[in-house]
């Protein structure tokens, strides 16, 4: 079996050079990134009882799956974590390696998917952020991701709910009206309802610890954590 959707990989490979352009095709992700970083950091610090420090994630092993150009891998590394970033797109990995080297950051990047990653390491944290809506088989993807997580480790999954509202906001609004994203970035059929994601996770030894919505505030052009999971949401799961 295979979790890689070749059409999705080709789509993102074509725009790989845009990853680090804050005003380019990944502008929404750049706007989204601060809230993702804050959420992940605060939850790790709380769960692992980490004392305040300028490198709070020191000694934490993180696997960033579908890392793209490294937009999350780099801040996690700056916070002290030992980071491996994997992506099925060779072009994305080339961009990520180049950017990390330029910024003197020690991050291991590999062209891989969860089922092809060769490692003896089990990770404290796995990040599956804005990736599950682009994979070929979500059940298989979560199963293979779970195998790479330590017992009591934490997996974060951020994705889009399958609702009429998400179709209106994430596809019609973001792609066609506001032109925030290239047309065709998302396929509503691949969006997943929280309960379905939680049930798939349970089958793969992952229990739900927390679910939060992420909402865009058009007035100050920023994202915030919210109770509204009808469009974007993030789940925190613990390995049993």
Per-residue pLDDT of the chain (240 residues; tens, 9 = 90+): 899 999 999 999 999 999 999 999 898 899 999 999 999 999 999 999 998 889 999 999 999 999 999 999 999 999 999 999 999 999 999 999 999 999 999 999 999 999 999 999 999 999 999 999 999 999 999 999 999 999 999 999 999 999 999 999 888 987 777 777 778 888 999 999 999 999 999 999 999 999 999 998 877 878 999 999 999 999 999 999
Inter-helix orientation angle 194-203/138-147, to 10°? 50
Cα–Cα dist 207/237, whole Å = 5
> Is 6-159+191-239 in CATH node 3.30.450.40?
no
Quote the pLDDT of residue 219. Answer: 79
Residues 20, 174: Cα–Cα separation, whole Å: 20
Helices (H) and strands (E) in the chain, counts: 7, 8
User: What pLDDT does 182 receive?
Assistant: 79
CB 192 within 8 A of CB 159: yes
For residue 194, what are the contacts with CB-CB under 8 A and spacing of at least 6?
161, 211, 229, 233, 235
Please check whether residue 60 is in contact with residue 41, taking contact to mean a CB–CB distance below 8 angstroms.
no
- The label of the residue with tokens 């066609």 reads 176
Q: Give the strands of the sheet with 222-226, arranged side by side.
A: 108-111, 82-87, 61-65, 123-129, 149-160, 232-239, 206-217, 222-226
Task: Point out which residues pair with 154 in neighbouring strands.
Answer: 125, 238
Cα(127)–Cα(49) distance, rounded to whole angstroms? Answer: 19
């Amino acid at each position: 079996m295979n979790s890689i959707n070749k059409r999705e990989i080709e789509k993102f490979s074509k725009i790989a050079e845009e990853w680090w352009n804050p005003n380019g095709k990944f502008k929404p992700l750049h706007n989204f990134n601060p809230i993702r970083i804050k959420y992940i950091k605060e939850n790790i610090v709380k769960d692992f009882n980490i004392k305040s420090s300028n490198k709070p994630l020191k000694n934490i092993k993180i696997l960033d799956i579908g890392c793209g150009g490294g937009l999350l891998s780099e801040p996690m590394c700056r916070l002290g974590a030992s980071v491996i970033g994997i992506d099925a797109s060779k072009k994305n990995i080339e961009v990520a390696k180049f950017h990390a080297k330029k910024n003197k950051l020690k991050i291991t990047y590999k062209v891989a998917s969860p089922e092809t990653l060769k490692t003896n390491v089990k990770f404290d944290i796995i990040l599956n952020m804005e990736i599950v809506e682009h994979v070929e088989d979500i059940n298989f993807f979560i199963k293979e991701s779970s195998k790479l997580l330590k017992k009591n480790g934490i997996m974060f999954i951020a994705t889009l709910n399958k609702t009429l509202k998400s179709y209106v906001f994430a596809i019609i609004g973001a792609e066609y009206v506001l032109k925030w994203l290239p047309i065709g970035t998302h396929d509503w059929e691949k969006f997943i309802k929280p309960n379905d994601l939680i049930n798939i996770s349970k089958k793969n030894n992952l229990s739900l610890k927390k679910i939060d919505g992420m909402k865009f505030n058009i007035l100050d052009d920023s994202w915030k954590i919210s109770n509204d999971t009808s469009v974007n949401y993030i789940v925190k799961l613990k390995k049993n």
